[in-house]
Amino acid sequence: MDNKETVTNPTTITTVVENKTKEVRSIIFLLFAEFLGYESPLISWAEQICSGKIATGFVERILNMEAITIFNAMKKEYTIEEIRTWYDKFYPLVLENYDEKLEEMEKSD
């Protein structure tokens, strides 16, 4: 089984589990991580970007580094499969709305 994660660009984390690829925006991942108890001092930036209150740019790159750091901490406690399963269950409940807002903002740029 080839399970791994990579960074495909400066704003997402990509995982491969059983040859299924999933790309997650760093901002969305930080919001997800907070619900699992992984706190970040930068979470307010992620929330402000999702609500359109601050521009992305360099802030998004900083958030990506934070997301990678938290993701690596999670992998010490859980498997990538467990993290993805929880993410997939949690996404439609809360995160999907944020993701749609980010997509709309990208289209309007």
Q: Where are the domains of the chain?
A: 26-108
Instruction: Report yes or no: 13 and 26 within 8 Å, Cβ to Cβ.
Output: yes
Rounded to 5 degrees, what are φ and ψ at 8?
-90, -25
Which residues 6+ apart lie within 8 Å of 105 measured at CB?
52
- Put simply, whether the predicted model's pTM sits higher than 0.85 gets the answer no
Please state, in angstroms and rounded to a whole number, the distance separating the CA atoms of residues 41 and 9: 23
Q: Which of 3-7, 9-13, 60-64 is modeled with the greatest confidence?
A: 60-64
Residue-level pLDDT at 78: 93
| CA atoms of 27 and 36, how far apart (whole Å) | 15
Which has more pLDDT, 68 or 16?
A: 68
Q: Is the pLDDT of residue 49 over 60?
A: yes
Q: Grade residue 92 by pLDDT with cuts at 50, 70 and 90.
A: very high
User: How far apart are the C-alpha atoms of 44 and 105, rounded to whole Å?
Assistant: 18
